[in-house]
């Protein structure tokens, strides 16, 4: 069982390999000088959308983009690493609610400032969050799961991406509203989640709908019980929302793209244009829809507003449950 609270110093982990100070570089030759690195703060296997977007951007700007998976601490390792890279336009990082916003209130020693250390490029997606269960468990639907959890407090285990991440927040709110107790287990990526669910060592997952889960749903090894978003997912039209099932909880997770603070405005604007151009294509919309996500192209200013609103939305819940990463 993974420890809920890491005994390692997050500061030490984030500082490893990042001894150089950020420097600004001329944007005149961007992106010709060298390949671009796009940091994905979770494990390989959960980066389907990241690779789709960067593959398209790579073609538009005419420069190689390397996806660098840096999982750990719910995304804080990779996000913190990105914050300490040179602000020269050759490093970007995929942004998610926990490491880009909510960790402001959950980490006492977070060695980067989520709302201060980045430039915002664009929103990328609005994801569908689903609670999945193994099909060999003794219930077949959302109500059955709640009834089972009430009769067996603390028996069901459910994964999330780490303390203070979106999945963790939703699990806490859901448990409160449903009057149940579950064992909440953090993971670095959903490939590990799928492996443990298939082995029987993990019962459920509260996670973004993605290709890994869709494959298991199609194979009949996992069952989607309910959707946290306001509307049903196009890819799972028969799966009810939490609200339809009597749990008054609606949450809309998102993903976006950021760069280290001080990255030239001209680079941000060009990267925004490339990302938005792809997201507005039918190809992107169809690819995202297949895994229950929606494209979400924005201006840099609009995406910054999303991040700021995210931190404010969950601040009270974090204080209520005294959610702390160590």
C-alpha–C-alpha distance, residues 51 and 67, integer Å: 7
Task: State the pLDDT at residue 102.
Answer: 93
pLDDT at 163 over 50: yes
Give the helix ranges, DSSP H, for the chain: 10-15, 48-61, 76-83, 97, 103-106, 142-151, 166-178, 190-199, 211-219, 265-279, 282-290, 300-320
Of residues 20 and 56, more confidently modeled = 56
Same domain, 90 and 43: yes
Cα separation, 39 vs 79, whole angstroms: 8
Domain assignment of residue 167, yes or no: yes
Name the least confident of 2-11, 53-62, 234-243: 2-11
Q: Do 199 and 140 share a domain, yes or no?
A: yes
CATH number at residue 269: 3.40.190.150
Handedness of CA 284, 289, 293, 294 (dihedral sign): positive
- Per-residue pLDDT tens over the stretch 251-261: 988 999 999 99
**Average pLDDT estimate for 95-118:** 94
Task: Tell whether 119 and 151 lie within a shared domain.
Answer: no
**Owning domain of residue 48:** 31-126+253-320
- Please say which residue of 227, 243, 270 terminates a domain: 227
Question: HSE of 200 in the Cβ direction (CA atoms, 13 Å)?
Answer: 2
Asked if residue 190 belongs to a domain, the reply is: yes
Q: Is the pLDDT of residue 18 over 70?
A: no
- Give Cβ neighbours of residue 216 (< 8 Å, ≥ 6 apart): 132, 194, 197, 198, 222
- Report d(CA 291, CA 256) in Å as an integer: 17
Indicate whether 115 and 139 sit together in one domain: no
Query: Do 90 and 180 have their domain in common?
Result: no
Is 112 part of a structural domain of the chain? yes
- Whether 19 has a pLDDT exceeding 50, the answer reads no
223 shares a domain with 133: yes
Provide the CATH number for the domain around residue 196: 3.40.190.10
Q: Which residue has the tokens 């100070």?
A: 21
- 242 within some domain: no
Question: Rounded distance, CA 315 to CA 167, Å?
Answer: 15
Let me know whether 99 and 186 are in one domain. Answer: no
Pairing of strands 157-160, 183-186: parallel
The answer to whether 93 touches 78, Cβ cutoff 8 Å, is yes
Q: How many helices (H) and strands (E) does the chain have?
A: 12, 11
For residue 244, tell me if it sits in a domain.
Answer: no
Omega cis (within 30) before 97: no
Distance CA(102)–CA(315), nearest Å, equals 8
Residue 248 in domain = no
- Sign, Cα dihedral of 149, 154, 156, 161: positive
Do 194 and 140 belong together in one domain? yes
In a domain, 89, yes or no: yes
User: Given a cut of 80, is residue 24 above it in pLDDT?
Assistant: no
Can you give the pLDDT at residue 2? 41
* Percentage of the chain modeled with pLDDT above 70: 91
Average pLDDT of the residues of the chain: 91
Q: Are residues 103 and 191 in the same domain?
A: no
Output the pTM of the full model: 0.78
User: Is there a domain that residue 205 lies in?
Assistant: yes
Question: Model confidence over 176-231: pLDDT tens digits?
Answer: 999 999 999 999 888 899 999 999 999 999 998 888 899 999 999 999 999 998 88
Share of residues in the chain with pLDDT > 90 (%): 74
- What are the CA-CA distances from residue 150 to residues 131, 135, 154, 320 (Å)? 17, 19, 9, 22
Query: Do 89 and 159 lie in a common domain?
Result: no
Cα 224 to Cα 42: distance, rounded to the nearest angstrom: 22
Q: What is the pLDDT of residue 27?
A: 67
**Does the pLDDT at position 16 exceed 50?**
no
Residues 156 and 122 placed together within one structural domain of the fold? no
Number of domains in the chain: 2
Instruction: Answer yes or no: do 303 and 286 share one domain.
Output: yes
* Whether the predicted pLDDT of 151 surpasses 50: yes
């Amino acid at each position: 069982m993974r420890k809920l609270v890491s005994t390692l110093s997050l500061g030490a982990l984030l500082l490893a390999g990042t001894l150089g100070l950020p420097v600004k570089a001329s944007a005149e030759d961007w992106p010709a000088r060298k390949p671009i690195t796009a940091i994905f703060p979770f494990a390989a296997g959960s980066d389907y959308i990241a690779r789709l977007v960067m593959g398209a951007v790579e073609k538009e700007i005419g420069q190689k983009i390397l996806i660098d998976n840096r999982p750990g601490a719910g995304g804080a390792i990779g996000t913190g690493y990105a914050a300490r890279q040179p602000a020269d336009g050759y490093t970007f990082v995929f942004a998610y609610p926990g490491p880009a916003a909510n960790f402001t209130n959950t980490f006492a020693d977070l060695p980067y400032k989520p709302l201060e250390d980045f430039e915002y490029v664009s929103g990328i997606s609005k994801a569908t969050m689903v609670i999945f269960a193994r099909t060999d468990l003794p219930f077949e639907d959302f109500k059955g799961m709640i009834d089972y959890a009430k009769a067996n407090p603390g028996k069901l285990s459910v994964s999330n991406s780490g303390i203070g991440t979106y999945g963790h927040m939703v699990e806490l709110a859901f448990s409160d509203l449903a009057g149940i107790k579950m064992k909440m287990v953090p993971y670095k990526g959903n490939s590990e989640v799928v492996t443990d669910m298939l082995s029987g060592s993990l019962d459920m997952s509260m996670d973004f709908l993605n290709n890994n889960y869709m494959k298991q749903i199609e194979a009949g090894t996992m069952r989607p019980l309910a959707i946290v978003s306001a509307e049903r997912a196009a890819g799972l039209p028969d799966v009810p929302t939490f609200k339809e099932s009597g749990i008054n909880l609606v949450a809309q997770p998102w993903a976006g793209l950021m760069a280290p603070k001080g990255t030239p405005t001209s680079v941000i604007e060009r990267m925004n244009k490339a990302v938005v151009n792809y997201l507005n294509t039918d190809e992107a919309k169809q690819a995202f829809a297949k895994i229950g996500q929606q494209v979400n192209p924005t201006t840099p200013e609009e995406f910054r507003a999303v991040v700021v609103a995210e931190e404010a939305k969950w601040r009270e819940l974090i204080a209520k449950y005294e959610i702390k990463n160590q």
